[in-house]
Chain A
Amino acid sequence: MQMSAAPSTVPPAQASTAQASAARAVELDRASVVFGRGAGAVTALAPTTLRIGHGAFVALVGPSGCGKSTILKLVSSLLRPSDGSVVVGGREASVRALRIGMAFQNPTLLPWLTIERNVMLPLKIVPPFRHDFRRERTRAFRDRVHALLARVGLQDFAGHYPWQLSGGMLQRANLCRALIHEPDLLLLDEPFGALDQFTREELWQDLQALYLERRPTVLLVTHDLREAGYLATRICVMSPRPGRIISDRPIDLPQPRDIDLIYRPDFVEMTQSLRELIAQVRK
């Protein structure tokens, strides 16, 4: 698969030219994050180099607190690197050269808006949609939101408020909000963490279908190795705090993948080896 073309062993010098950067969606070059100063300083992320090509689906796995979410925050420019650089779409992360969609672990839907208005929110903020928002919010944008909600089985809940929905429904709506503005870069921070296995598998399939439709670049943070293996085209394993990437491997299984895949022996073997790797570094 194309993903294996961008392993983390590419020398930094080669990537520093503008041309090379533009070819990639995300580029972390020895980026690190340190909170606080002096003796009380906490290193959330050790210098990390990670390059992600356009259209890749990268899963970041590793023990809790290893800095997985920190990488997402760097890429979405919620955080600035203490050192090193974070380049997104060939520009510095804060420039927002790429359209970003993000879904967090908690479905952070705004409680005062209906599901429809929540999902519509990115269209109100993100260019070029924002220019047409006033005109289209009751027409084209509304249809668009309803069509996407229908894709994940929420068509009858557009007028409901977040607290009226179950956890699984909220995560579906959350995913819709991350996708409504057709992002080039989708950042997912354990979006299925709090769900039961069946709902999770359903949502994996939904996400895979949505991914294959437009092929945005995806960076998925997860604890779940089966989730990573089923969805991703490349898996990066991180060490405990201060985190850094210790393993980077492509998953060369053809897509779309059938959900039964996760119970096949070779798949189980692959997740087992990842599991052992993480178990080792946790010690």
Chain B
Amino acid sequence: MSNLRIRICSAALIFGFFAMWEVLCLWLQVSDLLLPRPTEIAATLWTRFPVLWPHILQTLYSTLTGFGLGVIIGVTLGVLIGTSRLAYGVAYPLLVGFSSIPKVAVVPIFVLWFGSGTTPAILTAMVICVFPIVVNIATGLATTEPELEDVLKTLGASRSEILWNVGLPRAMPYFFASLKVAVTLSFVGAVLSETVASNRGIGNVMMTASSNFQTSLLFAGLFVLAAMGVALYAVFSFLEARVTGWATRKTDIAVT
């Protein structure tokens, strides 16, 4: 199938999903307290948008700050672990241990340390996205073909020059693959923390809406989250295609 047809089918599937939802709700006369129809949710979203907007910004702020910190820490750790076989072997078990902790469990700790609000949201977003970045950077560096490094070594390059000119560019496809996952994860982390311990953010809006039986607002929050998640994913997909086109052999990057 051509690209265009795939896109048309994909759009049709999304539209069909909502249409089916709408029709089934009307046909089975589902109470809008349980499951509001998509049109009702859209109407709520439209009328309540001015109220939702600051919360959207809040969630976006927590997510992106946490994600940014996560990237910095993740890349640093990844480079340290990936460039040294010793560090790779020594630190890996600890990292796996950290990563296997369900991240919900760390929220109470952050709340205990920093109180409720923005800080635990940022920190949760951070810890949840560090691991995939570390693993991918380390894997990218550790799997660099020795032949490519030899090219630089014969030229008398220093270790840091080899890292800059071979290791890091070689790890870029791995890095960007992890960024797409990481940004969605930090979003999950931020919202998670907001639902537990915050009076701002989409997560908090949804908790409040839930306890007040404002079902359509609850779903409106869900839609906003989905839209933000897709948008962030799209941004990093776009960046990935631009930066690491060589790895997928895209012909359009090859024109100079």
Residues of A within 8 A of B (CB): 76-78, 96, 100-102, 104, 106, 108, 110-114, 121-122, 124-126, 158-161, 163-164, 177, 181, 187
Contact = CB atoms under 8 A, between A and B. Distances in A.
A124 B156 CA distance: 11
Chain B's interface: helix, strand, loop or mixed, by majority? helix
Contacts of A111: 246-247
A121 B147 contact: no
A158 B154 CA distance: 23
A142 B166 CA distance: 21
Indicate the member of B150, B152, B156 with the most A CB atoms within 10 Å: B156
Contacts of A121: 151-152, 155, 165
A164 B255 CA distance: 11
Contacts of B253: 161
Contact of A110 (B161, B169, B251): B169
B137 to A, nearest CB: 16
B150 A108 contact: yes
Chain A's interface: helix, strand, loop or mixed, by majority? loop
B153 interface: yes
Contacts of B154: 76, 78, 100-102, 187
What band does the interface of chain B fall in when counting residues whose beta carbon is under 8 Å from A? 20 to 34
Interface of B: 145, 147-148, 150-157, 161, 165-166, 169-170, 172, 244, 246-247, 249, 251, 253-256
A24 B145 CA distance: 33
Given A159-B254, A161-B246, 9 more contacts: A78-B153, A108-B145, A108-B151, A111-B246, A112-B247, A114-B256, A121-B155, A125-B161, A160-B254
B148 A159 contact: no
Contact of B155 (A104, A112, A126, A159): A126
A221 B50 CA distance: 73
B254 A164 contact: yes
